[in-house]
Amino acid sequence: MQLFRHIQPLRNLISEAKAEGKRIGFVPTMGNLHKGHLALVELAKSRCDIVVASIFVNPLQFGLNEDWDKYPRTFDADSQKLESVGCDYLFFPDEREIYPNGMAEQTRVVVPGMTDLLCGASRPIHFEGVTTVVSKLFNIVQPHEAVFGLKDFQQIAVIRRMVEDLCMPVEIVPGDIVREDDGLAMSSRNIYITEAERPRAKQLQLTLRWLREQVKDGRRDYLSLEKEGQAQIEAAGFRIDYLQICCSDTLIRAGIDDKQLTILGAMYTEAARLIDNVSLTI
């Protein structure tokens, strides 16, 4: 695996590979990699000739009271893991490489509407930071396709919309959620879950699955179902951010005619905010 700290040498190699007809896959990350990220690299590897991963803890997508400063930086372990799954190029820029004119002066990419919902409601600047850095990374790497984990379901929906609206020639490929044995979705932020909370942290997934079964069994009173789900999560000792049965395409609360549904939830533990989702067709 070759490491790149700067844009130009990475671009040169990628253009050469493209000139040889190679398909380029891209997996953007913020590091602190777990099996979920590695599965995304493996997926890209199975579909492309060259896989590029990036590690950049993007300050633009963290709110003032969020965990940018304590987000774990684990470069050595990350690069070993990426190498072990056959990643070809690792782009590991510093902040000046990505924001040479400073963050305040940075041109922004905004996807309106969808970014105000769900995670966007409690993390107001988050998606603007994500779409801005992802569009920069797409311009740097110029991949044929980019793989994103379905745990961040809303992030994929927002990025798909950005790619469509801005005519970006990148295919967005979703990668399945990878879970711990008890069902907890793998996340870089799971390290913030305390030992005492850990056995109960699967509750979000349990409730999402319970909601899916209720809908499969014919219930369509989505608002009351959401309330019952929230009560389960609160009874397990967690604070709810949101729990909502949504239309998978628009992420608006589902109506009874919607057929493709995604049930999304976010809850707070003592020191973490965990998100998860399940989808179903009715």
- Active-site residue set: 37
Residues 4-63 touching ligand PAF, rule: CB under 6 A, are 28-30, 58, 61
| DSSP calls for 143-164 | -SEEEEEGGGHHHHHHHHHHHH
Closest residue by Cα to residue 14 from 132, 139, 136, 135: 139
Residue corresponding to tokens 């909502």: 244
DSSP-derived letter for residue 192 is G
Comparison of 155 and 269: residue with beta carbon closer to ligand PAF: 155
| Residues 94-133, mask of contacts with ligand PAF (x by CB under 6 A) | ------------------------------------x--x
Name the token pair of 1: 């695996």
Least distance between ligand PAF and beta carbon 102 (Å) = 18
Least distance between ligand PAF and beta carbon 58 (Å) = 4
41, 53, 87, 134: which one binds ligand PAF (CB under 6 A): 134
Comparison of 127 and 222: residue with beta carbon closer to ligand PAF: 127
Comparison of 133 and 225: residue with beta carbon closer to ligand PAF: 133
Least distance between ligand PAF and beta carbon 122 (Å) = 16
CB count in 10 Å sphere of residue 27:
30
Comparison of 130 and 251: residue with beta carbon closer to ligand PAF: 130
Number of residues counted as binding ligand PAF (CB under 6 A): 10
Comparison of 127 and 238: residue with beta carbon closer to ligand PAF: 127
Task: Tell me how far apart the alpha carbons of residues 119 and 114 are, in angstroms, rounded to a whole number.
Answer: 10
- Residue 270 contacts by C-beta under 8 Å, 6 or more apart in sequence? 194, 197
The dihedral over CA atoms of 38, 42, 45, 46, expressed in degrees to the nearest 10, equals: -170
Q: To which H or E segment does residue 126 belong? A: helix 126-141
Work out the angle between the directed axes of helices 126-141 and 153-165 (0-180°, nearest 10): 60
- Contact residues: ligand PAF, CB under 6 A: 28-30, 58, 61, 130, 133-134, 152, 155
